[in-house]
């Protein structure tokens, strides 16, 4: 995997650890595929990048001997302002490839690792080694010294270092008043450090600094920081920045995403969804160019999960389901994306799909999808219980008592197992605490702490069981038991609907009236409130008409035939509305001109085309991509017979080749060896002949075309690809080391081939 992006993710997620990293020292004899400049460079971008357009109108002058160095540095600063750290690091590495003594390029690499202290320290150290011999301006020295002190070990109190760092940034602002980037960084760091205990004393004061920037540069990408500053404080203060931000740096997906925060807070779900779709489109276009997996990009899964959510709020069932399924259909990777990994495409896609199917009451689809990988069974009940609850609700609404009983039985068995686990954990803790002669208070705490995790599971399962047993009681005509079970229902809208069905009209009316009197602009919930209030109190037509008017004003995307909206048909008719009572969306007056979404890229991830090749095997026979037309295959890039860990990969694949054949996944391996030396790789396999073709890319042209190449050090990288029969790249792993998880590779290839026919 492009370990650079893994490192970026490490900077944002406590779930990933640096514990297994090797010492960050340069080596004269590194393993094949590893950087000669040390491990930090294994973990960074290794392909050269162009000067992009539209990454922000910014400028921070530096000293560099390369004629394009300033342009790349400014590009990197713009990318930093958009939190596009991976691409920013690429820009700074591009400078070092041409000007290895550029101290400010190392500062850029440090800034690109703001959230990854280990790598940041490594880069600031390398810059410090060059600093004494370099000629820097006072302006450059101020920047470099501020960060050198921040990432030093003194004082040991990190909070004090951070406070001092803020003062150093303020000094840069005071001493160089025309430096807009210093002001932007100051506001950004104050917001970031606010989450690390250095509290913001004045939001208005920071906003005043931003206004100084915008007075000189109205479309500066610092609008990004205005949104973050006011997002949770007072979102209305950032509406102007929300309208402008995307156009300040349209090549950066995150700059399209961030306005969605403000528009969601303002309950302008049309505008929020548009921006999240724009962000997805820009991301997908970038992935297609660079053979990136979706979850390799920071914030990607979060953006698209939020987009699915906003489609739900708009009542667009089709778009919501498609986006959730798109997340589920994304390529998975053991380190980045799985059905159980928090924050990943698969986890978000599954949770959203479950919510969407329930929200729009798509019960037949639930049963159908539960028999497919869209709602696959997961091993751990904590990961699977929401799926089982959804299936139980579907059986209830489809009046399938026997099937509902089966689901309840499954959940009950899981609940009993969780209860037993909780008791076992608590008993062990009690025994241990007793042996240690702890007092009664400490013993009780030890027991409670030991059973905490299992208790969460038992409590959640008990809630679901209570809700579904109430559903079963209702089907059996036991109204009293069904009413009692409502205490287990967490979803207020679901509870309101159940109260209505069970004849508890007073409670249902109260809940509905609360929905109608508020400012809720989530279409399904508003529709449920209208229907419930109407059925409870038909004589109050004025309130129903007023609420229906609110619904119509936000109705342009509503899937009118889905159950929550279809049930409004008789009410709409009585109010004199047409059969299709939806109204077109009227854009807000504070919006700026927007590009067409399809001009930015595809809204859903689509596999990029594999690059054509035509290379000789050891018998000088030509092998090309077109030879595999109509046949999926595994494409491996290996670094010649002298690469020991490449030999391990080829051996592992050769040993298990019958499994690849069974899966109808032939393997093709491309080597850096010349044609004659391909035989050495064959001879290295001790069990006979390697059962798949080895072909020569001695000039490394195909390695480069597939981005399996370190352009900065001019050396090849390991790569493993899944190519489908249409010549599309479904999955990639490019890294300093070869991909060795054969089980995962076969399973994921089969999954993707099924989902992307």
The owner of tokens 């250095």 is: 198
E-assigned strands of 545-620? 614-616
Complete DSSP assignment for 32-52:
TTS-TT-HHHHTS--S--PPP
CA 15/CA 9 separation, integer angstroms? 9
Alpha helices by DSSP H, listed for 231-362, are 239-248, 253-257, 259-265, 269-290, 300-314, 317-329, 345-359
Q: How far is CA 455 from the centre of its chain?
A: 30
**Burial class for 92, CB neighbours closer than 10 Å (0-12, 13-18, 19+):** buried
CA 430/CA 313 separation, integer angstroms? 48
Residue (of 257, 232, 230, 263) closest to 245 by Cα position: 257
Residue 101: how many CB atoms within 10 A of its CB? 13
Catalytic residue among 102, 188, 471, 646: 646
Quick check: is 646 catalytic?
yes
68, 69, 71, 73: CA torsion to nearest 10: 160
CA 308/CA 324 separation, integer angstroms? 6
162 φ, ψ to 5°?
A: -70, -40
CA-to-CA dists, residue 578 to 255, 503, 552, 553, 581, angstroms: 40, 31, 12, 15, 5
CA 433/CA 5 separation, integer angstroms? 45
Helix, strand, or coil (residue 405): helix
**Burial class for 651, CB neighbours closer than 10 Å (0-12, 13-18, 19+):** middle
First to last CA, the chain: 24
| Angle 238-243-244 from CA coordinates, rounded to 5° | 100
Q: Are 241 and 229 in contact (CB under 8 A)?
A: no
CA 741/CA 649 separation, integer angstroms? 9
Point out the residues that are catalytic.
646
């Amino acid at each position: 995997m492009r370990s650079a992006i893994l490192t970026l993710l490490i900077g944002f997620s406590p779930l990933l650890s640096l514990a297994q990293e090797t010492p960050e020292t340069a080596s004269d004899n590194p393993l094949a595929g590893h950087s000669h400049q040390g491990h930090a460079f294994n973990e960074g971008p290794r392909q050269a990048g162009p000067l992009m357009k539209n990454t922000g109108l910014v400028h921070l002058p530096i000293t560099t001997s390369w004629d394009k160095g300033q342009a790349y540095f400014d590009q990197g600063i713009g990318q930093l302002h958009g939190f596009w750290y991976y691409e920013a690091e690429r820009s700074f590495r591009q400078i070092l490839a041409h000007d290895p003594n550029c101290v400010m390029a190392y500062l850029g690499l440090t800034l690109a690792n703001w959230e990854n202290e280990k790598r940041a320290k490594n880069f600031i150290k390398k810059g410090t080694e060059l600093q004494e011999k370099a000629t820097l301006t006072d302006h450059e020295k101020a920047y470099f010294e501020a960060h050198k002190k921040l990432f030093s070990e003194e004082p040991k109190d990190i909070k004090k270092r951070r406070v001092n760092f803020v003062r150093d940034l303020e000094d840069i602002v005071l001493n160089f008043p025309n430096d807009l980037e210093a002001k932007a960084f100051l506001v950004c760091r104050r917001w970031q450090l606010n989450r690390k205990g250095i509290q913001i004393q004045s939001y208005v004061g920071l906003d005043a600094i931003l206004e100084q920037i915008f007075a000189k540069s109205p479309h500066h990408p610092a609008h990004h920081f205005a949104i973050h500053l006011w997002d949770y404080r007072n979102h209305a203060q950032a509406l102007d920045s929300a309208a402008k931000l995307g156009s300040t740096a349209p090549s950066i997906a995150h700059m399209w995403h961030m306005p969605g925060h403000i528009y969601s807070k303002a309950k302008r779900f049309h505008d929020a969804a548009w921006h999240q779709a724009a962000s997805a489109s820009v991301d997908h276009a970038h992935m297609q160019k660079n053979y990136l997996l979706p979850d390799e990009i920071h914030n990607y899964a979060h953006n698209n999960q939020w987009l699915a959510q906003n489609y739900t709020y708009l009542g667009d069932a089709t778009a919501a389901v498609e986006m959730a399924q798109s997340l589920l259909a994304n390529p998975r990777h053991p380190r980045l994306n799985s059905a159980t990994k928090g924050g990943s495409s698969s986890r978000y896609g599954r949770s959203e799909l479950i919510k969407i199917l329930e929200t729009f009451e798509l019960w037949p689809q639930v049963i159908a999808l539960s028999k497919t990988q869209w709602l696959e069974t997961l091993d751990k009940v904590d990961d699977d219980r929401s799926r089982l609850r959804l299936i139980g609700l579907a059986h209830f609404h489809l009046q399938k008592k026997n099937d509902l009983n089966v689901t309840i039985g499954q959940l009950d068995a899981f609940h009993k197992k969780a209860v037993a686990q909780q008791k076992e954990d608590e008993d062990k803790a009690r025994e241990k605490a007793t042996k240690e002669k702890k007092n009664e208070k400490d013993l009780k705490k030890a027991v409670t702490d030991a059973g905490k995790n299992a208790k969460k599971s038992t409590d959640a399962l008990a809630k679901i069981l209570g809700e579904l047993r109430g559903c079963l009681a209702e089907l059996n005509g036991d109204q009293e038991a069904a009413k009692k079970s409502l205490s287990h229902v967490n979803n207020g809208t679901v509870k309101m609907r159940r109260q209505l069905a069970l004849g508890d009209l007073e409670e249902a009316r109260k809940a509905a009236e609360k929905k109608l009197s508020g400012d809720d602009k989530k279409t399904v919930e508003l529709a449920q409130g209208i229907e419930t209030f109407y059925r409870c109190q038909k004589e109050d037509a004025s309130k129903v008409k007023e609420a229906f008017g609110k619904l119509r004003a936000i109705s342009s995307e509503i899937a009118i035939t889905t159950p929550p909206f279809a049930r409004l048909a008789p009410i709409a008719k009585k109010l004199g509305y047409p059969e299709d009572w939806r109204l077109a969306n009227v854009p807000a007056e504070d919006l700026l001109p927007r590009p067409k979404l399809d001009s930015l890229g595809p809204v859903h991830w689509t596999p990029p085309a594999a690059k054509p090749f035509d290379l000789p095997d050891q018998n000088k026979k030509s092998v090309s991509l077109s030879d595999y037309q109509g046949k999926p295959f595994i494409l491996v890039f290996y670094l010649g017979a002298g690469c020991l860990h490449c030999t391990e990969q080829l051996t592992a694949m050769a040993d298990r080749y019958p499994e690849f054949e069974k899966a109808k996944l032939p393997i093709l391996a491309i080597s850096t060896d010349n044609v004659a030396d391909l035989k050495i790789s064959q001879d290295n396999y001790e069990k006979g002949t390697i059962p798949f073709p080895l072909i020569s890319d001695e000039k490394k042209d195909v390695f480069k075309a597939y981005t399996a190449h370190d352009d900065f050090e001019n050396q090849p990288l390991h790569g493993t690809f899944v190519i489908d029969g249409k010549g599309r790249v479904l999955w990639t792993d490019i890294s300093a080391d070869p991909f060795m998880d054969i089980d995962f590779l076969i399973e994921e290839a089969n999954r993707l081939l099924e989902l992307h026919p």
